[in-house]
Structure 1
Amino acid sequence: MPASPNWTLHLLGAPRLAGATVPVRLDRRTAALLALLAIDGPQPRSRAAGLLWPDSPEKTARANLRQLLRRLREAAAGDLVGAGDPLELSPAVTVDARDPASPDAAWPDGRLLDGVDLDEAPELAEWLAGARRSLDAARLDAALAAAARLEAAGQLGAALAQAQRALALEPLSEEAHRREIRLRYLGGDRAAALAAYERCRAALRDALGVEPSPETVRLAEEVARGRRVPARSGGPAALPLSVTRPPALAGREREWALMEEAWAAGKGIALGGAPGVGKSRLMQDFLSTHARPLFFEGRPGDRAVPYGTHARTFRETLGALASAGAALPPWVRTELARMLPELGPSPGPLATEADRVRFWNAKLEAMRVAFRAGFDALGFDDTQFVDPASAAAGAYVLEQLLRDAETPLRTVHCFRTAEMAPEVLAHIRALAEAGRALYLELEPLADDAVEELVRSLDVPGIERVAAEVARYAGGSPLFALETVKHLVETGAVERGIPDRTPPRLEALLRARFDRLSAPALQLARALGVLGTDFTLERAAAVVEARAMDVAVGWSELEAAQLVRGAAFGHDLLAEAVVAATPAPLRGFLHGRAAEVLAATGGAPGRIAAHWERAGDPVRADACRREAESVARATLLATEAAGYFRAA
């Protein structure tokens, strides 16, 4: 009788067989035999019988084994175990306790043969204990490998989840603790990174009576003081962590005090200014000091897709709620499915204004659920990139939150003033004039503040050139930090800044890309072109490179501190690499991006933009018409009208 291809053998948790009919519970000996065959492979009948019935004569044990296999065959209506010798599990049976086929797939949870007692079979019980230890070790290795892979791919949140999974499996793993410390620091939360180190110290001291290893202590010192990471042989000088995130916030005492007053009064806060003036850092430090915030951002390319920004924002919100053990009401999930297909089928087009308001109220309710889950502030960066549909919905949600005394969810928005939509900027100014929000336009830092910032970096010899860097930076923290990176990478810190005028910011940024290897530069160009649609897989397809070469290139971009998360460390870096790409190559990359996005489910509006930049208006118009159809099927006609006019 052939084995059914629909049977799945569940060995993690309570053992059972699951198939097209009702699940089949497994007795302890049957479960142990199937686990032995699934994990250790084929077994001689004599050994299997001896392990299962160690106190019985061999003839009796083998007869018991035949009866066990007969009962299993009848229950499963098929041969799950071959009839020959040695015994072998049918390849048609899926087993949950085997190594996942894909390195990206996670090991399932559950204790191996949970609740199974094999005291009457000591050798088999010893085997089971060892198999459980091996499974836990494999899970730990897989989680740590996944964390490293995701960090290399720029997915810091997902990497942190894997590091935390590793710690749940082995609370005394210093490697897992170090990964959590590093990821929290790279994610911009130094306090959380140091708290993770203290948890590591406490766990080791309480369980083993020892202190963390020197490697872990050094990492904590890097986080606390911004010390440089060890240099890698054969490459450029390593950049200190402090250059990515300086330990001190300099020159913003006045702004901080005004934000404190607004916070105490329950007002929203908006920070405007030029690129690189320090808006993001001020927002992150302030909110991390005062609240448990959720951070979101607009990205270049969002404007090409209605609700493109909010799709990403609320997807991240769902992840945060899941980690906090909170869930959205069913009606909210149904409404959000309009922009998040993974939540289920969309309820249909937004045919009326009432439909739109219900959709927006679902977003409002999601924010209220987040507040009840303990997230009491929202930080929005680069709101100048937000698409109009998301901006309109966001303004509505913000207006309701400001009026809701039961949900005092605080918000801070950052944006480039010159690039902000005039109507949105007017709305922010009106809220400020009405006393309901604080609007601060950040001015360039004073030279002494920039000098203080530069001196706080752990770069040997930097104090000798700090004043010169401050003068040349023009009050821009970003320019100052990029200048320091340029000096470190070119070995010019000891020599000092040359007498001639140093390159301006745009040239400094381009020079950093010039020092990359060819594969890393290719990847940086793909990231600049793909923008918000970037993944390592798509980038590999755009530049027609092997996945391994792309992974190595990404590691080089990380080491050069050009990327953070799944994007460039600053939008100006993206603009610089695209601008420095020769026009013919830039057009070719946009064409490849359009083809790759079309093959991987990209948004038609963004595909149209790529064809336009590739010099193919015919394909661009076709994609705009497709985008119009999609918009009309899911949103109000106003969202589709823009595509119609452009086509």
Structure 2
Amino acid sequence: MAALQLDLLGGFQLRDDAGTVLTLSNKKAKALLAYLSLHAGEAHSRDKLASLLWEDRNETLARHNLRQVLTSLRKVPGLADGLQADVDSVMLAPDFIASDVLQFEHLHSHTQPAELSQAVALYQGDFMEGFNPRSFSFEDWLMEQRHRLRENALSAMNRLLAHYLASDEPASATTLALRLVALDPLQEPVHRTLMTLYARSGRLAAALKQYRICRGVLARELGVAPEAQTEQLYRDIYQQRRQPATTAPEPVPAATNTQAGSRPTQAEARPLPAATTSGLVGRRQEQRLFVSALDACQELACGQAFLLRGEAGIGKTRLVEEYRRLARTRGFSDHQALVLDFGGQSGYDALADLLRSVLQLPAVTAAEQVRSSAARLLGADTPEQQALLIDLLGLPQAPDLRALFDAMDNTARRHGKHHLLNRIVGTLSQQQPLLLIVEDIHWADAMTLHYLAQLAAAVSTNPALLVLTSRVEGEPLDPDWRGMMQGAALTTLDLGPLAEDEARALAQQFPHANAAFVQRCIARAAGNPLFLAELLRTADDDDAAAPHRVPDSVSSLVQSRLERLPPADRQAAQAAAVLGQRFELATLRALLDQPDYHCGNLLTQRLLRPDGEAYLFSHALILDGIYNSLPLPRRCALHGKAAEWFQPRDPIRYAEHLERAEDKHAASAFLHAASVQAKAYHFERAQDLLARGLRLTNEPQTRFELLCLQGELAYASGETAASLNAYQQALDYAETRAQRCRAQLGSTDALRILDRYEEALQALEQACQQAENEAEHAQMHYLRGSILFPLGQIEACQKAHSDALAAARRAAIPQLEAKALSGLADAYYLQGRMVSAYRYFDQCIALCREHGLLRIEPTNLAMRGLTRFFQNDLTGGLADSEQAAALAARIGDQRGECIARNILTDLHYFHGDYVSASTQASQCLQLSRRIGSKRAEVDNLYMLGLSRITRDPASDGLALIKQAYTLSQEHGVLRYNGPMILGTWALAARTPAQRRWALDEGERLLSQGCVGHNYLYFYAFAIEVTLRDSQWDEAERYADALRAYTASEPVPWSDFISVRARTMAAFGRGQRNPTITTMLQRLQIKAQTVGLQLDFPGF
């Protein structure tokens, strides 16, 4: 009997002989055990297994990882006895583990029903379903096994189904047929079998529904209609179900293409079931279309977005209520949110409200509740997504997630939130179909619209529907917004006025109104249901004159109703209107100075409706009517009082009420609100607040602060030209030395990013004349060093960063200190002084980790890895660079990731892992083009070319190297990478003349002064070329040049390259004495120890 049971069909589960589940947390351990179990009794070489599971690692690291995984497997109770391993191979003892896969393979080919039934029962899902091995080679094997086993399962199920049909076992046949179409929905004969089974059992509706499922799958996956046999079966079943006066319609075409915004034709619309009859008047076509969408969403597991568009009061909200009722009857979970024109609290917006509903979170939610919810939904190890969800809900960030969230750039946060919304919709809609509703998007800001586009894209690939409502005037869904939907469809339904017969039907809900009054109301309302309903309600008023007069507008109606309210309620209604469409009772009581006030009369008069613990005006038109009834002085006074209430509670509402109160401090309040939003990294919302503040004031001090913050936010958002414009405008309002210094420093930084170095230095000089404190001096020196670096002014660059470091330490500002350390390291790197550069990079990283400066860490960590390599610590260099790439990707630092992967390319090349070098170069090339860095693009082109041509001399490697050199010339960066490119050109060139030209041109460029890495790499490449061509004198000359360049600060790697060159040259000339051979032996051992892939030909 086997000691263990391993189930791989439908997932991964390992159990002992007592049935206890044994946990394996390491994915590679699971992958290795699965592979060995399917080949039990076979010995596999360690190299083969290491390559299978860690193809992206070099041989040494891969074998090391394999040893670690084997150690973890031996720790599993009972497994150590079955694992047999020696120094070269690994094997799982035969019959040690019983596997459901092996049992299935033994049974599936049998012809007897009993064995087939056992095989089908064993097949609980795809082989290792849901398993992600993170290895392309293993994934290829996995997919091959998965496909083979699935085909065998389908074959067994079809044979067993034929047996059930032949032996007249309809219940078993139906169950098995459902499994078959779930596993392979394109098996049209099985769909027909199900239709027949349903029809024979009298379940005609289920049979017709199965036809629709079949038709939809074929249309979506293959773009074809069902076979004629299927169509005829559908007609036959329909004839059985038809009413006496009904003729069976032709089957609906497999693919219909209704234009967005069009009404369905009679042939396309499905009749509503009796259960849909409700108090809603009219809108039958819109209901039919929505019912069809609900059915399609359930059948096809993909949804769509709707836009209900119409004038105020036309009935959008009432139709949405009906949509919600229809969705609930079909098992959908519905969630609704409202965009507010005014009065929404910070953290209360439509998206946050919708997410709280979807995630079943209370209105007042703590960050820990959100984290728990995210962990249950997305998994425990998702700190980035937890941080993003907390932010989407408008909550203060959790302390232990703050550094991670701060480190992300604006683009990374935006993309991360998009991905998070997709995951939430995708995960929850698989549990229960979703209906998501957002009303009044004509008031939505740009950020909310951005997320709504993402939701529209998400529902298109999941069992979910999105319904948006908007007025025609101000409808914001322009072509740019539709482009953000990523190709998803949007069906627009324009709601027109009610027809006269529909208006009469609505009027029947008001039986107290006399016929003449009803007719006048219908004529006056002109098909607007809200206006008509409000007019008809006046018939219920205790006013004998009501039947004889018809108000001209909703506003007139509201005014009339206000006049009939008691004074206290009338004042409360007006105060509530000042607060906006949604308000809290505590706020209203504060405005009224009535701590015991209740809204009972306002609810009775249908002016308000409850909304959780708050209140909403029953319609925006009613709110407008009440608000406009207020005299301007009274309105301003109430807004001023509301501002006092919100000042300590909500910066945005404080500013908005001051604006409506026409208070002179409103602009400063918008500045404060924008600062609060900026600290939370809500840059789009902060920019909007700043723009509102700028429209309100010409006061120099306030405009200066608004413009400077505008410049900071534009810079942080990557809008460098806009940042420069804001700072230059701010300079016009600067009145003090500190203000002028701040504006000039901001302009300098923007000009630096735009590569306008001369202008940047001019702006910096003007800032220097105004600088007064250490923080300003630290920033000033850092910017100077950063400008001088690309200009190649090495000594001046180094001095500037030294001054910046000293000033930053005096000012005790860790972020500036870390930047200065990074700048100093760059300066030493520029000079080829790699040991000193390493020391400063190392200090910078320590400071970053001490103070949580994750944004600064990735680039410097990658550079520390490169400088470790130059000290012959290749393993440490790889570890640093891989960690840097992972951290940069995690926080969305694309530039940092690009630098890290560029360094990984170099290190893998020198390690002799040309496959990994090519992979990293390709990934980095895509990144560099995405962020628009031509310098990084050049670096990766020539290293990709060198890696390819080293692996395959017939590849396009040399062409890539030549392309890199051309780009370097075109973009003026030859001093940065020209000699390195020429060195690789010489290595790849096929003729002596080409090699000679490349080496001569490289030396010519070096003589003009270049960045330090050019000297190290070029001389190393030149030594390889001349050793290969047996040019011993030239090899020694390049070795001497390399040693001379690093004389002021020796570099261990270049010293090794130089000694090897001289020793190989001596050996090549025929000097085979013990001194030379011993030295070559030591050099060879040293290369192997470090991990350098170097040739020692003839030795």
How does the TM-score come out when normalised to structure 1?
0.54
Q: 2:633 aligns with which of 584, 587, 594?
A: 584
Q: In the alignment, is the contact (CA less than 8 A) between 1:309 and 1:390 conserved in 2?
A: yes
- Look up the SS of the partner of 2:473 in the other structure: helix
Q: 2:505 aligns with which of 445, 452, 459?
A: 452
In structure 2, the residue matched to 1:609 is 656
Say yes or no: does 1:484 pair with 2:536: yes
The alpha-carbon deviation at position 641 of structure 1 amounts to 2.3
Range 580-589 or range 357-366, more displaced: 357-366
Range 305-314 or range 574-583, more displaced: 305-314
> How do 1:433-512 residues align onto structure 2 when only pairs under 5 Å count?
436-457=489-510, 459-462=511-514, 465-492=517-544, 497-498=547-548, 502-512=551-561
Say yes or no: does 1:275 pair with 2:312: yes
The alpha-carbon deviation at position 491 of structure 1 amounts to 3.8
Q: Spell out, residue by residue over 1:570-599, the C-alpha distance to the aligned partner (whole angstroms, 9 max, x if none).
A: 111111111111110100011111110113
Say yes or no: does 1:378 pair with 2:378: no
The alpha-carbon deviation at position 567 of structure 1 amounts to 0.7
Structure 1, unaligned runs of 5 or more: 1-245
The alpha-carbon deviation at position 251 of structure 1 amounts to 2.0
CA spacing shift, 1:328–1:596, aligned 2, 3 Å: farther
The alpha-carbon deviation at position 629 of structure 1 amounts to 1.1
Q: In the alignment, is the contact (CA less than 8 A) between 2:313 and 2:528 conserved in 1?
A: yes
Q: Matches of 2:410 and 2:361 in 1, distance apart?
A: 31
The alpha-carbon deviation at position 320 of structure 1 amounts to 5.8
In structure 1, the residue matched to 2:464 is 409
Q: Spell out, residue by residue over 1:524-556, the C-alpha distance to the aligned partner (whole angstroms, 9 max, x if none).
A: 1222111266211111111222x22x11xx011
Q: Matches of 1:517 and 1:365 in 2, distance apart?
A: 52
Q: 1:531 aligns with which of 542, 562, 580?
A: 580
- Look up the SS of the partner of 2:497 in the other structure: coil
Structure 1 counterpart of 2:609, which letter? R
The alpha-carbon deviation at position 462 of structure 1 amounts to 5.0
CA spacing shift, 1:363–1:594, aligned 2, 3 Å: farther
Q: Spell out, residue by residue over 1:342-373, the C-alpha distance to the aligned partner (whole angstroms, 9 max, x if none).
A: 77457344523112211333333333454355
- Look up the SS of the partner of 1:341 in the other structure: coil
How does the TM-score come out when normalised to structure 2?
0.33
Q: Spell out, residue by residue over 1:7-59, the C-alpha distance to the aligned partner (whole angstroms, 9 max, x if none).
A: xxxxxxxxxxxxxxxxxxxxxxxxxxxxxxxxxxxxxxxxxxxxxxxxxxxxx
Q: Spell out, residue by residue over 1:231-257, the C-alpha distance to the aligned partner (whole angstroms, 9 max, x if none).
A: xxxxxxxxxxxxxxx952112122223
Q: Matches of 2:360 and 2:514 in 1, distance apart?
A: 41
In structure 1, the residue matched to 2:672 is 626
In structure 1, the residue matched to 2:341 is 300
- Look up the SS of the partner of 1:419 in the other structure: coil
In structure 1, the residue matched to 2:421 is 363
The alpha-carbon deviation at position 473 of structure 1 amounts to 1.1
Say yes or no: does 1:250 pair with 2:259: no
The alpha-carbon deviation at position 558 of structure 1 amounts to 0.9
Q: Matches of 2:482 and 2:390 in 1, distance apart?
A: 33
Q: In the alignment, is the contact (CA less than 8 A) between 1:321 and 1:370 conserved in 2?
A: no
Structure 2 counterpart of 1:267, which letter? Q
Q: In the alignment, is the contact (CA less than 8 A) between 1:454 and 1:463 conserved in 2?
A: no
CA spacing shift, 1:583–1:283, aligned 2, 3 Å: same
Q: In the alignment, is the contact (CA less than 8 A) between 1:333 and 1:343 conserved in 2?
A: no
> How do 1:36-55 residues align onto structure 2 when only pairs under 5 Å count?
none
Q: Matches of 1:454 and 1:317 in 2, distance apart?
A: 37
Q: Spell out, residue by residue over 1:622-641, the C-alpha distance to the aligned partner (whole angstroms, 9 max, x if none).
A: 21111221122112534322
The sequence identity of aligned pairs, in percent, is 23
- Look up the SS of the partner of 1:418 in the other structure: coil
Q: Spell out, residue by residue over 1:183-228, the C-alpha distance to the aligned partner (whole angstroms, 9 max, x if none).
A: xxxxxxxxxxxxxxxxxxxxxxxxxxxxxxxxxxxxxxxxxxxxxx
Q: 1:286 aligns with which of 323, 344, 347?
A: 323
In structure 2, the residue matched to 1:101 is none
> How do 1:343-362 residues align onto structure 2 when only pairs under 5 Å count?
344-345=398-399, 347=402, 348-349=405-406, 351-362=409-420
Say yes or no: does 1:259 pair with 2:284: no
The alpha-carbon deviation at position 434 of structure 1 amounts to 7.1
Structure 2 counterpart of 1:640, which letter? A
In structure 2, the residue matched to 1:92 is none
Which has more helix, going by share of residues? 2
- Look up the SS of the partner of 1:365 in the other structure: helix
> How do 1:99-138 residues align onto structure 2 when only pairs under 5 Å count?
none
Q: Matches of 1:463 and 1:278 in 2, distance apart?
A: 24
CA spacing shift, 1:336–1:320, aligned 2, 3 Å: closer
CA spacing shift, 1:491–1:523, aligned 2, 3 Å: same
The structure whose Rg is larger is: 2
CA spacing shift, 1:491–1:501, aligned 2, 3 Å: closer
CA spacing shift, 1:515–1:365, aligned 2, 3 Å: farther
Structure 2 counterpart of 1:275, which letter? A
The alpha-carbon deviation at position 560 of structure 1 amounts to 0.9
CA spacing shift, 1:527–1:354, aligned 2, 3 Å: same
Structure 2, unaligned runs of 5 or more: 1-276, 297-302, 364-368, 694-1099
The alpha-carbon deviation at position 507 of structure 1 amounts to 0.5
In structure 2, the residue matched to 1:646 is 692
In structure 2, the residue matched to 1:569 is 618
In structure 1, the residue matched to 2:246 is none
Structure scoring higher RCO (CA < 8 A, sep ≥ 6) equals 1
Structure 2 counterpart of 1:341, which letter? L
Q: In the alignment, is the contact (CA less than 8 A) between 1:541 and 1:596 conserved in 2?
A: yes
Q: Matches of 1:342 and 1:429 in 2, distance apart?
A: 32
> How do 1:71-90 residues align onto structure 2 when only pairs under 5 Å count?
none
Q: Matches of 1:306 and 1:366 in 2, distance apart?
A: 19
